[in-house]
């Protein structure tokens, strides 16, 4: 077992753990019960944590988490050189679609 990271709330912790499991990484959310029962603990002591079972999955788990933390991409550069902003998926200059990756 290894602590991966702390989540800002239980909903996000659950989301992250689910995403990890969908990648084949055994993950669990800790402290959720403690948080529910807490009243004496300072708030930063009862934030949920993500733990993974297998240390070997750590680099993969960290990479996935970094991806999940990133806000959706709203800015991309088209092959024609135009910088497309504002969430558009099509270049307004040449009409090309946003690349899938
Ligand atoms: Zn373009």
3-state secondary structure of 1: coil
Distance 68 CA to ligand 1 centre (A): 28
Q: What pLDDT shows up at residue 70?
A: 75
pLDDT band at 100 (very low <50, low <70, confident <90, very high): confident
Over residues 26-84, the pLDDT tens digits come to 999 987 555 456 566 555 566 889 999 999 999 999 999 988 887 666 788 999 999 98
Q: How far is the CA of 95 from the centre of ligand 1 (A)?
A: 6
What is the predicted pLDDT for the residue at 42?
Answer: 59
Residue 89 has pLDDT above 90, yes or no: no
User: What is the distance in A from the centroid of ligand 1 to the CA of 82?
Assistant: 5
Quote the pTM value. Answer: 0.61
Identify which of 65, 44, 46 has the alpha carbon closest to the alpha carbon of residue 2: 65
Closest CA to 25 of 3, 56, 49, 47: 56
Residue tagged 């807490």 (tokens):
38
User: What one-character-per-residue DSSP string does 18-69 give?
Assistant: HHHHHTT--EEEESHHHHHH-SSS-GGGS--EEEES-GGGHHHHHHHHHHHH
Distance 85 CA to ligand 1 centre (A): 12
């Amino acid at each position: 077992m290894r602590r991966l990271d702390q989540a800002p709330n239980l909903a996000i912790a659950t989301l992250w753990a689910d995403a990890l499991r969908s990648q084949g990484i055994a993950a669990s959310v800790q402290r959720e019960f403690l948080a529910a029962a807490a009243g004496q603990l300072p708030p930063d002591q009862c934030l949920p944590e993500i733990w993974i079972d297998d240390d070997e999955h750590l680099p993969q788990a960290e990479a996935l988490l970094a991806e999940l933390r990133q806000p959706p991409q709203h800015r991309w550069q088209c092959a024609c050189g135009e910088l497309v902003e504002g969430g558009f998926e099509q270049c307004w200059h040449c009409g090309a679609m946003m690349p899938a990756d």
